[in-house]
Structures are given as structure tokens and as C-alpha cells.
Structure 1
């Protein structure tokens, strides 16, 4: 399947890099942008009648989605897929901008797609065949792992997966910064903490155990150092409440932004 990414900003380029890393041929994927410096790949496949469907990814600001689809209407053939990563542009809006023979979907990736470790939420319009759904998800799975969600869950998914890396980075930042209180110099603290997180993530990704809690239990010896540290983190349920507040606040802001973008669009 050929892929055209319209918009060469941070997310558009991250997706391009991820697909190239996954083995998508450079002559089967292209980034198109008004800024020629942001264009890459090759769109020559558009000139060949391969009989295969293609995917057009809209990685532009929400207010430009309608004009971009209008300008590129000649690219879309029956069976093609349009996926939008633009916040607030709903499936009903996308359906109204293309032929009813074109499949539309919304995607919410995070920037880890550049390293093929992304988390991607996909909301697909009703009536799409199971074969087409599998085709779409298989393309996005090359960037990490995709999850089919209802459109009304997009804002919640954004709060968890879209913003999630920043929560992780901030915890790493605090952990490394506080190594100074344990007489660990900053010049190695960052490397130590990063490696701890890389190892923990690898264990979590590799385990057949039911979630992080069982791994945590295995690491935690009774009355040991880990238990002492965890008791401090969990004192009076503060950590759980902070995480809950974090996710709710992020989701509500995503809803606000979606409504703003939707009205402006």
C-alpha cells in the first residue's frame, strides 16, 4: 500500500521515519508539504496503476483539513483510506469531505512512532469492512502497536498515550535530579536512571504476567528497600490521586481543544 503523508511537521516526519524503518520502500511513501524542505520520499507510485489502494495521512492543522482534501481530491480513488491525525476533526466531517467510496479514520499516534515503538489509537467510521480494518491496523502496527477505539474515546486516549511519554519523562527527570541527595553525581545519574527505565520497560513488554503489579510484587521484598520506597510513594494514596488528576485534567484539556478546533474548522 502506498502512503502519502500531507504535512511534514514533527508528527508527519515521525510517521515517515517509522514506516521507513519498518521497511516501507522509499518509492512507496512520500511526505508532501508546502515547505519544500520538509518533503521527502517519492510519490511516483501515484503515477503507476498498481490496482492497490493507498493511504493518505492528514498531518496538518485542523483548520487546513478541508482545503487539503479539496486540493488533493484527484488523488483519491475508491478503496483508498484517509486517516487524519488532526485534533477535533470528526469522522462525520471527514466523511462529508470525501467520496463515500473512500474509507476515513482518525489516528492518534505519539512521537515514539519514529522508533517503531508508538502507541496509536484508531477510530474508524461505521460500515467499514473487517478486511479493511485489518489492512489499516496492519499498516499502523508497523509504527508500534495500534488500538481500535470508539471516536468518543479519542480525548481519553490522547491523555493517556499522546501525553503519556511526557509523564514518564518527568518522573525520570525527578528521579535523576534527586540522585544528588544520595551522593550520585549528575553526570552519571541520568544514564543510571535511563537504563533502569529501559530495563523495566523491556521486562514489562516481555512478561506474560498480568500487568505491572505482579512485576512490582516480584521486585519488592518484604521489609526491603523497595518496599520502603514504595510506601513513601503511596503514602495516603497521594500518588494514585495525582495520577488520576493528571489524566482527568489532560483529557478535559483535550476535549476543550477538540471543541475549539471543531468550531474553527
Structure 2
């Protein structure tokens, strides 16, 4: 079954999801995106062949409405489209920190609301989405949302109470990987490599390690232990990381990100 999908917000993530959904085979005639700027709207029409209009017009008649705007803009956007979104439609918010009950309080009864936390690898179709259903979401609607977001990566369904943890692990997670890669490159340069070679070595190592972890049944701990021979080079590196408190630091960083997410969400 083909759903009419409205993407409200034509920024980087909005256009990324639009492109991913089109690439997954969804017909352009059943996609619409909102954009106020005339030049940007024309660019989107020419590039993707979809309808470009205002928020309320885009939302009217859509089966799924994607909110891809800044968190502070979500309440006003919901007020703008509240009369246009029909009961039975599904509103999916990708804005961090906006609670389901906040959205449901603005929209009409019967409008299904799904809260989603994306991350930036969705830009290349390798994103991670943690999603939570609201009060009125049916199994069929949830399946449609999962199928749509899988065009941009992988999807896990969690209770909304776990959204802060999702934010800490995957929402902010790409930054941790970039931080590690940054340190690996700098360490390579310190050891005598030129920056370009150090970047290639670090980047491919991170990529390959991630694929090993994703492609097998072994845990991260098992994979790490397998390449850490007693008294070898990797052992020396891991001992140093432990002495510097890196493992505990990463866990503390995730806890801090989750706590900040909870602060931004406000009281339950």
C-alpha cells in the first residue's frame, strides 16, 4: 500500500529523508515537502520532481506527516497544521526532546503520534532511528512508519521512557566515533605518519571494525578480546586506555547526553 507522505522542513535532514524515501521506490506523486523560500522550493521541484508547498497544504490529506524542524519550532508548527491533519493520519516528529503528550495535546484526538530520534548517518542511508508510538498508533501505522524510516537506515522501537538513552547512545553517538577517529589520526601523526595517511588508516579501521561488529554474532567485548593478545601491541594500547579512564569516560558521556535530553524534554 502506498501512503501519501508529507515532509515538513526542507533542511538537510528533511531533504535526506525525502531522497531516501524516493530511492526506496516511493512514487514522487505521493510525496510533498514544505518550503517557504521560492528559490529553494524550485530547486526541490527540479531535483526531486515532488510537490513543494506550505505546511498546512502539505499536511492536508497526508497519511504520514514528518516533522523535520528544530525542536523549538515544533509547537508552532503543530498549531499551524492541527486543522489540516485528519484523525487516522500519523505525525512523526524527528525533533529531539519533544514529548508525545505535548504533541497529542495540540493535535486532534485520533491523530497518531510517533516520536523518533535519528542520527546523521541517515545522510548516507546508514542512519539509526529509535521510535516510540503514542496513544492512537495502530500496528499498521507503526509498520508503515518503520518501513518509511528504514529507507534511511535501521529502526528500533522503544518505549518513550527510553528515548533519552537512545539519544545518548545513537543520537549523539556519531560524535563519539568522530572523536575517536580524530584522536586516532592525531596519534598516527604523532607516531610519524602524514595526516592524509593517518586519516585513511583510521577511517578504514573504524569502518571495517563497525562492519565486523554489525555482520556477526560476536559481542564487542568478544571481538576486542580476540585481537588483544597478552603483552602484545593492542594489549599495551587497551591497558593505556583503561589507565586513562576511557571506558568509564564513554559511559559517563552517554549518561550526560541522556540526562541533557531529559532536561530538554521537560517533566514527564
Pick the aligned partner of 1:54 from 63, 68, 75: 63
Q: Is the 8 A contact 2:99 2:265 kept in 1?
A: no
List, as ranges, runs of 4+ consecutive aligned residues in structure 1 with deviation greater than 4 Å: none
| Change in 2 beyond 3 A, CA 1:204/1:34 | same
Which of the residues 230, 243, 260 maps onto 1:253?
Answer: 260
- 1:11 is displaced (CA, Å) by 2.2
**1:22·1:143 contact (CA, 8 Å) conserved in 2?**
no
Runs of 5+ consecutive residues of structure 1 not aligned to the other structure: 45-51
Alpha-carbon distance change, 8 to 201 in structure 1, aligned in 2, over 3 angstroms = same
Distance 1:55 1:86, change over 3 A: same
Aligned to 1:135: 144
Corresponding residue number in structure 2 for 1:174: 183
Aligned to 1:119: 128
2:99 to 90, 102, 109: 90
Unaligned runs of 5+ in 2: 53-60
RMSD: 2.3
Per the alignment, residue 201 of structure 2 pairs with 192
Q: Which has the higher contact order (CA 8 A, sep 6+)?
A: 1
**Post-superposition shift, 1:159?**
1.6
Shift of the 215–6 alpha-carbon distance from structure 1 to 2, 3 Å rule, reads same
Partner of 1:119, secondary structure, is strand
Contact 1:59 1:84 in 2 (8 A): yes
Decide whether the 8 Å contact of 2:117 with 2:171 is kept in 1.
yes
Alpha-carbon shift at residue 244 of structure 1 (Å): 1.9
Q: How many residue pairs are counted as aligned between the two chains?
A: 251
Give 2:251's match in structure 1, choosing from 229, 244, 248.
244
Query: Which of 63, 71, 74 is the matching residue for 2:80?
Result: 71
Scaled by the length of structure 1, the TM-score of the pair is 0.85
Matches within 5 A, 1:34-49: 34-39=36-41, 40=44, 41=48, 42-43=50-51
